[in-house]
Amino acid sequence: MRRPGSNPFVFGFVGALGVLTAWLLVQAIGTAGSMLLLIVVSLFLAIGLNPAVEFLRSHNVSKPLAITAVFLAVILVFVGSVVALVPPLTEQSSEFVQRIPGYVRQLQSNPVIRDLDERFHLLERLVDYVGSGAFGTQLFGGLLGFGQVVIGAIFNALTVLVLTLYFLGSMATMKETGYLLVPRSRRARTRLIGDAIIDKIGGYVAGNLVISLIAGLATFFFLMMLRVPYALALALIVALTDLIPLVGAFIGALIASAVGFFVSVPVGIGCVVFFILYQQVENYVIAPRVMQSSVDVPPVATIVGALIGGALLGVIGALLAIPLVAALLIIIREVVLPRQERT
């Protein structure tokens, strides 16, 4: 007698429902992917800021007041970055458009480019294209597109700030709730491993912020000495790009040095030399001392993790990859390897 579940039509129908459910789940995750990314970024920021909150609490500061002080400091840094970056970017963009004719005249002095321009009128079309405003319209999708970009950026920033505040306030509760989901027999061990992972992630985020702050301050004072314009904005760019593993320091140094070359060739060369020397100091003096008690990740694991994270989620993935690799190494060292030794 055939069992009810052995009917091929029933089996096919159930299988189709399973595939459809999986497909709908993937689509839902893809639709909510950007919001999930904001949640993950906020959680990492909260874990990174939690040591500052705990430091204030250890000095007899109440938890609400400590969270408020740390959160206000984050808001001040965010607002200061916007105030320092927006005016120079706006001014330099308008200056670039105004200097297009001069750059075109310089290009026309090249025989090859002059011959191509006489045949196809490329440079004349370029000047008309930039001067007509079509460049900016197509770059941002018109006024409406530009407004959507700005509103989206503001919404994402506010979302991250609000979620970070909530995560900071409920960090202890979230940890305890997570530990309660583990069987009682394994809860103590899980608590030790979980606290170690959170400490490593928090140490990495906090240490990376400190290193970037030092890079920004050093860049600001150096550029001020050389009288390079927009020193504060360039220092903020260097500090922000320094957070990116592997290539971030090079990107910030390239931008600041390019502005230095616009001032004069000696100033540009001085910027290049400064960033080369500073990078050596950061790699071999500052970073080891700041990170000595936070994240101990082998260089190969750091590079592989940053490359995979960058390929999956871009810059955000590269930033999150190293603490995740550190957490994975803790799990392997504390769980996997002892279990292998017992078998």
Return the closest-CA partner of residue 232 out of 116, 82, 341: 82
Look up tokens 């950007």; give the residue: 34
For the stretch 256-284, pLDDT in tens is 888 888 788 888 899 999 999 999 998 88
Reading the block at residue 115, the tokens are: 């011959």
* Domain boundaries along the sequence of the chain: 34-181, 185-343
User: What per-residue confidence (pLDDT) applies to 82?
Assistant: 74
What count of other Cβ atoms lies within 10 Å of the Cβ of residue 213? 13
Question: What pLDDT band is residue 146 in, cutting at 50, 70 and 90?
Answer: low
Q: Which of 140-149, 189-198, 212-221, 322-331 reaches the highest mean pLDDT?
A: 212-221
For the stretch 16-54, pLDDT in tens is 777 778 777 777 666 666 777 788 888 888 887 888 888
Question: Please, are residues 77 and 45 in contact by the beta-carbon 8 Å criterion?
Answer: no
Helix (H, G, I), strand (E, B) or coil at 137: helix
Where does residue 4 rank: exposed (0-12), middle (13-18), buried (19+ CB within 10 A)?
exposed
The whole-number average pLDDT for the span 249-259 is: 87
Query: Any idea which of 148-162, 189-203, 251-265 has the lowest mean pLDDT?
Result: 148-162
User: What per-residue confidence (pLDDT) applies to 143?
Assistant: 47
